Structure 1
Amino acid sequence: MAIDPQFEENREVVDEHEGHRVWGPVDEPETLGIHGTHVAVDFDICLADGACLEDCPVDVFEWVDTPGHPESERKADPANEANCIDCMLCVDVCPVDAIDVDGSRETRI
């Protein structure tokens, strides 16, 4: 299942992490929510294959440890989402569609 393209309407902000919003629900370690707003990563489906980190030309993502999460024990965190240039490479390379960039929401609905 892909990230919810309407997460801003369907979820509430429950926390802040590294300067970006966390959209709930969150019940660690199994449920971690969606991190970021302009560049959003659904931590609950992220497999941590690293394609987004490798392909992002402006280093939006950083690894963050998520011990005990059933999908993977680290996630691609959009820690530098303000650097995003809307190239959509991360959206294109994510094998599980865990990433959404604000500009891609209209085209994915």
Structure 2
Amino acid sequence: MAIDPNFDENREVVDSHEGHDVWGPVDEPETQGIHGTHVAVDFDVCIADGACVEDCPVDVFEWVDTPGHPESERKADPANEIQCIDCMLCVDVCPVDAIDVDSSR
């Protein structure tokens, strides 16, 4: 299942991580929520194939460990989402549609 494009309307901010919002629900380790707002990664969908980390021209993403998560034990965290230039490469290369970039947010 892909990231909810309306997560900012359908979910609430439940935490903060590395300077960005975490949108719930969160029930670790199985449920990790959506990390980021402008650049949002659904940690529950992310399979950590690394395409977004490799292709991002401005290094928005950093690896973060998520031990015990059923999809993968690391995630591409939008730790530097403020650097995003809205090129949409991450959205285009994500094989499971776990990323949403919205310049209106």
Normalising by structure 2, we get a TM-score of 0.98
Deviation at 1:103, TM superposition (A): 3.8
Paired residues, number? 105
Contact 1:88–1:104 (CA<8 Å) still a contact in 2?
A: no
* Alignment match, 1:90: 90
* Alignment match, 1:26: 26
SS in 2 for 1:92: helix
SS in 1 for 2:25: coil
* Alignment match, 1:47: 47
Where do 5+ consecutive residues of structure 2 fail to align?
A: none
- Cα distance change, pair 104–95 in 1 and its aligned pair in 2 (3 A): farther
- Ranges of 4+ aligned residues in structure 1 off by more than 6 Å: none
Identity %: 90
SS in 2 for 1:4: coil
SS in 1 for 2:96: coil
Q: Structure 1: which amino acid aligns with 2:60?
A: V
Where do 5+ consecutive residues of structure 1 fail to align?
A: none
Report the structure, 1 or 2, having the larger helix content: 1
**1:34-92 CA distance string (max 9 Å, x none):** 00000000000100000000000000000000000000000000000000000000000
